[in-house]
Structure 1
Amino acid sequence: MSHVAVFGIGSTNFRSAVAATDGELLTDPTVEPTRPDALADQLVAAVADLRETVDRDLDGVAVSTTGLVDDEGAIRAFDTRAGETVDRIDVATPVDRAHGLPVTLVNDCNAAALGEWHYGARDGEDCLVHVTFGTGIGGGVVERGRLLRGETGGAGEFGLLPVAPHDHESTGVVGAWEAVASGRGIPEYVARRVEAADFADAKRFEADDRTAEAVFAAADAGEAWAEESLDEIARYNAAGIGAVCNAVEPGLVTLGGGVALNNPDRVLSGIERHLDRFLFVDRPRLRITPLGGDIGLYGALAAARPDGDRETGTDE
């Protein structure tokens, strides 16, 4: 495949472009709101639009998407921005029927790890981890070019690691990392802290829409409730990163997703400040992904490569 329609589909945004397998984006990425209840139709229409933008036909379609995926080209469970789940969305069949193109489908966080391996920050490491801080928290592990998939393709659900014995839950997991440190979890966690403490300067958070963006903005403005809350969240992030590192011993950990990309210095420095307390293995190199918001596109492209998920040496 040399010309691939690539898609990075998240709970909020639907990103698309045409790319070459050497890593060049041949069209500027476009972004539109994700329509979970009409996702297959949205994808079919987007492929048609992309076919009009290049001077030769496409060789395939590659999709990285939030949620669990299966080997038949369907999303088994799609996570919406509101925290709801849409069950089984077949994307391969509608695309094949409309365009006659093969479809590569992969979980977005797993795909991001593959994208990092082939096109991103890897610099000779044998094992890398990518962690996505978005609406939820997910990630992937790639060792010598091979993506860790798990028994049924569910590996990389880092956000469900129980990082603390508290009552906050996500997807039924008590103490889940993403219940306190994801885009959806941060405002819920901070609201509980604010309500349980006497923060005289927290009126803004109580009055405004409760969002992760509001918490980071308040911290940047020097409000104590927000700064203290984000330092606690940084400890949870360090515990989560430490747990993953102790399990797989990566040489590189990259961070992505809207929460990390929009607040890179605060998120990265917070983890760096606390990480050594949670590590048994040697400390890995830690950085924000250089692929930015397009990492889902690069991840989809990496999954579509002939060598996209094949064990390799370290010289590639």
Structure 2
Amino acid sequence: MNGPLTIGIDIGGTKVAGGVVDARGALLATARTVTPDRSRSPRVVEETILSVVDELRAVHPDVAAVGIGAAGFVSADRSTVVFAPHLSWRNEPLRERLGERVGLPLVVDNDANASIWGEYRFGAGRGESHLVMVNLGTGIGGGIVYEGQVIRGRYGIAGEFAHMQVVPDGIRCECGNRGCWEQYASGNALVREARVLMASTSPMITDLFREVVGPADTLSGPLVTEAAKRGDRLAIELIGEVGRWLGVGIANLAAALDPGTFVIGGGVSAAGEFLLGPARENFRRHLTGRGYRPEARIVAAALGNDAGVIGAAELARDALST
């Protein structure tokens, strides 16, 4: 499989990751930095993206295009980030601003669209004609592939599953509404619940909390996951709760979209069966017509945290041939 090298950039609420990717989906070089504080100017985030691109081009100057997966609502023409709940972009013409500086063909898409495209072409979604991806990171990202096409919707905002209301008048979400799915099934939800217990000196305290040096806000999702893998009962319970809400949400998505496979990605998916076991159980419990319909598979992303980078690079490569 021959084709030009391209760069993929994955922008999340906490990190900007990039990589040079070949036509087989292999990462040839990577770069990563933290996302600047969301309260700062969008220009600061854009400069961070450019610094990652420059670092990668220094290693592979022959790259032909750049694909960017941005955590937010991206317009149908894939040029503008209309709204980013976890960043400060509001109607940002990202393709124009960055394209002028990069000097290469540049594609902008939603980060979950990039991730699902990576998994569809090279990962857990290969061979599946009806695929839905749910990325559990800082928030929730979602993507849909139907018969070989990413479904973006009339306005480019399809797949924003994070902001389905699952609890009327529930927890306030950064999008402005209450009770959104990502307030119950995301990395933020996992860490929030753990920190509340830690700050309250709950009698539920286990080794998970004894390992944290400093105040409750130093507790992180990866620490909870590692504790669960060592058998910490509270960490297992906290991840299981996220898994239960994950199952509820994807049962709703199955009712609407009827995919053959759900791919679960994002940083929280590193919890593996601690997350996916409760998700499958609650998916079956809440599935419409359960017992009388085929059930979608629920699998972990094969590309891990690299799915967004690889998918964004592949979207950029696809654009070169159109």
TM-score (norm 2): 0.82
Q: Please, which of 10, 14, 17 is the counterpart of residue 12 of structure 1?
A: 14
How far does residue 199 in structure 1 lie from its aligned partner after superposition? 5.5
How far apart are the structure 1 equivalents of 2:30 and 2:130?
29
What residue is the counterpart of 2:31 in the other structure?
30
How far apart are the structure 2 equivalents of 1:239 and 1:98?
44
Instruction: Tell me the secondary structure at the aligned position of residue 200 of structure 1.
Output: coil
How far does residue 67 in structure 1 lie from its aligned partner after superposition? 1.1
How far apart are the structure 2 equivalents of 1:44 and 1:195?
39
Residues 1:117 and 2:113 are matched in the alignment: no
What residue is the counterpart of 1:2 in the other structure?
4
- 1:216-227 to structure 2, matched below 5 A, reads 216=225, 219=228, 226-227=235-236
Q: Please, which of 269, 283, 288 is the counterpart of residue 277 of structure 2?
A: 269
Instruction: Say if 1:131 and 1:138, in contact at 8 Å, map to a contact too.
Output: yes
Q: Please, which of 286, 293, 309 is the counterpart of residue 278 of structure 1?
A: 286
Instruction: Say if 1:3 and 1:21, in contact at 8 Å, map to a contact too.
Output: yes
What residue is the counterpart of 1:208 in the other structure?
216
Question: Once superposed, what is the RMSD of the aligned Cα atoms?
Answer: 3.0
What residue is the counterpart of 1:57 in the other structure?
62
What residue is the counterpart of 1:160 in the other structure?
163
How far apart are the structure 1 equivalents of 2:79 and 2:119?
23
Instruction: Say if 2:197 and 2:205, in contact at 8 Å, map to a contact too.
Output: no
Q: Identity of paired residues, percent?
A: 28
What residue is the counterpart of 2:318 in the other structure?
306
Mark the runs of 5 or more structure 1 residues left unpaired by the alignment. Answer: 311-316
Residues 1:146 and 2:149 are matched in the alignment: yes
How far does residue 44 in structure 1 lie from its aligned partner after superposition? 2.7
**What are the superposed Cα offsets for residues 100-141 of structure 1, whole Å, 9 maximum, x if unpaired?**
211110000122111111111124321011110000011111
What residue is the counterpart of 2:130 in the other structure?
127
**What are the superposed Cα offsets for residues 239-260 of structure 1, whole Å, 9 maximum, x if unpaired?**
0111111211111111111111
Which shifted more, 275-284 or 161-170? 161-170
How far does residue 218 in structure 1 lie from its aligned partner after superposition? 5.6
Instruction: Tell me the secondary structure at the aligned position of residue 306 of structure 1.
Output: helix
How far apart are the structure 2 equivalents of 1:279 and 1:111?
27
Instruction: Tell me: CA distance 1:309–1:215, structure 2 relative to 1, closer, same or farther (3 Å).
Output: farther
What residue is the counterpart of 1:77 in the other structure?
83
Instruction: Tell me the secondary structure at the aligned position of residue 231 of structure 1.
Output: helix
Which shifted more, 118-127 or 44-53? 44-53
Residues 1:292 and 2:304 are matched in the alignment: yes
How far apart are the structure 1 equivalents of 2:126 and 2:7?
27
**What are the superposed Cα offsets for residues 155-182 of structure 1, whole Å, 9 maximum, x if unpaired?**
1111112223452132233321111121
What residue is the counterpart of 2:188 in the other structure?
184
Instruction: Tell me the secondary structure at the aligned position of residue 259 of structure 2.
Output: coil
- 1:187-266 to structure 2, matched below 5 A, reads 187-189=191-193, 200-202=203-205, 204=209, 208-209=216-217, 210-213=219-222, 215-216=224-225, 219=228, 226-261=235-270, 263-266=271-274
How far apart are the structure 1 equivalents of 2:281 and 2:313?
34
Q: 1:48 corresponds to which letter in structure 2?
A: D
Instruction: Tell me the secondary structure at the aligned position of residue 29 of structure 1.
Output: strand
Q: 2:46 corresponds to which letter in structure 1?
A: A
How far apart are the structure 1 equivalents of 2:59 and 2:198?
50
Instruction: Tell me: CA distance 1:227–1:57, structure 2 relative to 1, closer, same or farther (3 Å).
Output: closer
How far apart are the structure 1 equivalents of 2:17 and 2:54?
14
Instruction: Say if 1:21 and 1:301, in contact at 8 Å, map to a contact too.
Output: no
How far apart are the structure 2 equivalents of 1:268 and 1:68?
27
Mark the runs of 5 or more structure 2 residues left unpaired by the alignment. Answer: none
What residue is the counterpart of 2:101 in the other structure?
98
Instruction: Say if 1:130 and 1:256, in contact at 8 Å, map to a contact too.
Output: yes
TM-score (norm 1): 0.83
What is the number of residues matched between the two proteins? Answer: 303
Instruction: Say if 2:65 and 2:317, in contact at 8 Å, map to a contact too.
Output: no
Instruction: Say if 1:7 and 1:14, in contact at 8 Å, map to a contact too.
Output: yes
How far does residue 194 in structure 1 lie from its aligned partner after superposition? 8.7
